[in-house]
Structure 1
Amino acid sequence: MNGKLVRVGTSYFPVTDVVRSSSWYIEMLGAELSYQDEVKAILNLANQSVFLVKSQEGQTSNFFDSTGNERFSLTFEVNGLEALEALHREFSEKEIRVGVIENRGHTGRNFVFYDLDGNKFDVWSELSPIFKENYLLS
């Protein structure tokens, strides 16, 4: 792996209120707080660092594809369809804005959810094979 990108270490998400958003990520998604000041929070979430960065109103990590559909820039993985369905129920019960569980024509199922600032995220029911191998998951 010499000279190759090995992993994604940090993701950055724009938020309007760092304190409120970090509390939401901790309470709703189970993130752990590493650092926080008035302009950023550093969280541990899904085996990587997540920076919540104070940004202007209306900023999100979302983008629009060539057909005008709003897209997410990050997909989280869970270990199987049962885990996906359980997480979807949990998010719904917590009143997190979630989409329906979808069949997108590939292995597994997905759903989307949004944070307080409208950042859109995806969840997929399939763990990457290398992740499973490295963490000895079956």
Structure 2
Amino acid sequence: MREKLYRVGTTYIPVADVEKSSDWYVTKLDAELSYKDQDKAILNLAEQSIFLVKTNGKQTSNFIDFNGREHFSLTFEVNGLQALENMHRDFMQKNIKVGDIENRGHSGRNFVFYDLEGNLFDVWSELSPTFKEKYHIL
């Protein structure tokens, strides 16, 4: 195969209430709303498009891993441990449901958080070296 996948451009997140969820992402995560109708909202967040897609009833993007634990499907990155700790504190002040900062046995630290609809996400303190180089981030 000669072609390769370069990046993730769009992530689709199931939500029951597009209006409330899009407001939550804009207010709590500082996402930029670029489009909204009754069926979906398109947000700009973390260098990609996030589509909040209306579903029938309660659904999330979470899954259960082989140990029986609920697992996230998406990890956001921040630039360093201090940034992670600051974001964790900020999320708690915004009344976002968050887990503790964890040492998972690899470089950096992580914590998880839930959106308004119960979708689980991860935040990692290690910004990708390729991303840092491309955008000249120290």
What's the TM-score, normalizing by structure 1?
Answer: 0.98
Q: Which residue of 2 aligns with 1:90?
A: 90
CA distance in 2, matches of 1:46, 1:101: 20
CA distance in 2, matches of 1:73, 1:101: 18
SS in 1 for 2:5: coil
Shift of 1:51: 0.1
CA distance in 1, matches of 2:57, 2:83: 34
Residue 50 (structure 2) pairs with residue 50 (structure 1): yes
Q: Which residue of 2 aligns with 1:78?
A: 78
CA distance in 1, matches of 2:66, 2:101: 23
Unaligned runs of 5+ in 2: none
Deviations 1:10-62 (A, max 9, x none): 00000011011000000000000110000000000000000000012220000
Q: Which residue of 1 aligns with 2:101?
A: 101
What's the TM-score, normalizing by structure 2?
Answer: 0.98
**What is the CA RMSD across the aligned residues, in angstroms?**
1.0
SS in 2 for 1:24: helix
Q: Which residue of 2 aligns with 1:30?
A: 30
SS in 1 for 2:101: coil
SS in 2 for 1:42: strand
Q: Which residue of 2 aligns with 1:116?
A: 116
SS in 2 for 1:98: coil
1:10-29 equivalences under 5 Å are 10-29=10-29
Moved segments of 4+, more than 3 Å: none
Taking only the aligned residue pairs, the percentage that are identical comes to 68
User: Which amino acid in structure 1 is aligned with residue 127 of structure 2?
Assistant: L
Shift of 1:66: 1.2
User: Which amino acid in structure 2 is aligned with residue 96 of structure 1?
Assistant: I
User: Which amino acid in structure 1 is aligned with residue 134 of structure 2?
Assistant: N
Shift of 1:65: 0.8
User: Which amino acid in structure 2 is aligned with residue 94 of structure 1?
Assistant: K
User: Which amino acid in structure 2 is aligned with residue 43 of structure 1?
Assistant: L
